Amino acid sequence: MNVIADMSSSAPSSAPSSAPSASATASAPNAAPLIEVRDLRKRFGDVEVLRGVDLEIARSEVVCVIGPSGSGKSTLLRCLAALETYDHGDVRIEGELLGYTERNGKRVSASHGEINRVRRNVGMVFQQFNLWPHMTALGNVMEALLRVRRLSHDDARRRANAMLETVGLAHKGDAYPARLSGGQQQRVAIARALAMEPHIMLFDEPTSALDPELVGEVLQVMKQLARDGMTMAVVTHEMGFAAQVADKVVFIDQGRIAVQGKPRDVFHDAAQPRLRQFLQNYFDRNAFWTRGPADTQPL
């Protein structure tokens, strides 16, 4: 099933592509990056955790973010979703500044309403799935459609069912989270985010809380989303996924993007010492089978 095609066909703003004026206006914003981050800085108390991050994410691009623990990966994603304020720089979503507005030539914090408007098309999936335990899978996906999007019960149910189908859980709509595996719960959380028809999905270590044998089913759903053209930023330790799916891999170290490039360049030709060390640690942890001299080298 093509999630993105489904979404765009139901989007209220979609216009027939044959109408010249509509396609002309639609192509202009499409040319701009979906997300544009310029010199982003963020401190917690005395500690500057983002120290000047520049990043662009184009439409339909999949960006995987890797890096050591504490390097600022979650903070970066949280700034993109307006779950965290930032101190300096710009975060633009589809050309619009997030979190701030200009008044009398000065930058001031934007209102909640304005922030929600700009971040409306950003979906996020966390390491902890945070499903409501007292609601079924279907209820969890419907919740924000009813409360935030104010859909009718029938429309919310229809869309929620379609999203559960997208993540391969149409048959689990009536199940409560406690009766679902971690992988299934995370797929419900993905369905819940997709139901809001985001233009970009942010994933913060979506498989890190899962038992190893459940990781694959979640990555599979994410791969399908990527194939369908979803724009995605994924913080992950799944290097195989990053190598296969990412258009761009970003290595964050100590609050800065130290390296970014195509997966092949980042993984195979890593010259930057901190990146080399990071990847070496990863390979050391994951190498469990050596047979001879040829196989003792990390990939």
Ligand X SMILES: Nc1ncnc2c1ncn2[C@@H]1O[C@H](COP(=O)(O)OP(=O)(O)O)[C@@H](O)[C@H]1O
Binding site for ligand X (CB under 6 A): 44, 49, 67, 69-75
Query: Contacts with Mg ion: how many residues (CB under 5 A)?
Result: 2
Complex with ligand X: residue 71 or 166, whichever CB lies closer: 71
Q: How far is the CB of 222 from ligand X (least distance, A)?
A: 18
Q: How far is the CB of 50 from ligand X (least distance, A)?
A: 8
DSSP of 83-142 = SS--SEEEEEETTEESSEEEETTEEEEPPHHHHHHHTTTEEEE-SS----TTS-HHHHHH
Complex with ligand X: residue 84 or 96, whichever CB lies closer: 84
- Which of ligand X, Mg ion, none has residue 72 at its interface (CB below 5 to 8 Å by kind)? ligand X
Q: How far is the CB of 208 from Mg ion (least distance, A)?
A: 9
Q: Say if CB 226 and CB 232 are below 8 A apart.
A: yes
What's the Rg (C-alpha) of the chain? 20
Q: Which phi and psi (to 5°) does residue 92 adopt? A: -115, 130
DSSP of 208-257 = TTS-HHHHHHHHHHHHHHHHTT-EEEEE-S-HHHHHHH-SEEEEEETTEE
Touching Mg ion, residues 72-91 (CB under 5 A)? 73-74
- Which of Mg ion, ligand X, none has residue 70 at its interface (CB below 5 to 8 Å by kind)? ligand X
Complex with ligand X: residue 217 or 238, whichever CB lies closer: 238
Complex with ligand X: residue 144 or 209, whichever CB lies closer: 209
Q: How far is the CB of 49 from ligand X (least distance, A)?
A: 4
**Among the listed residues 131, 134, 133, the one whose alpha carbon sits nearest the alpha carbon of residue 167:** 131
From residue 215, alpha-carbon distances to 65, 80, 184, 211, 258 in Å are: 18, 25, 10, 7, 28
Q: How far is the CB of 219 from ligand X (least distance, A)?
A: 19
Complex with ligand X: residue 41 or 59, whichever CB lies closer: 41
Note the residues at the interface with Mg ion (CB under 5 A).
Answer: 73-74
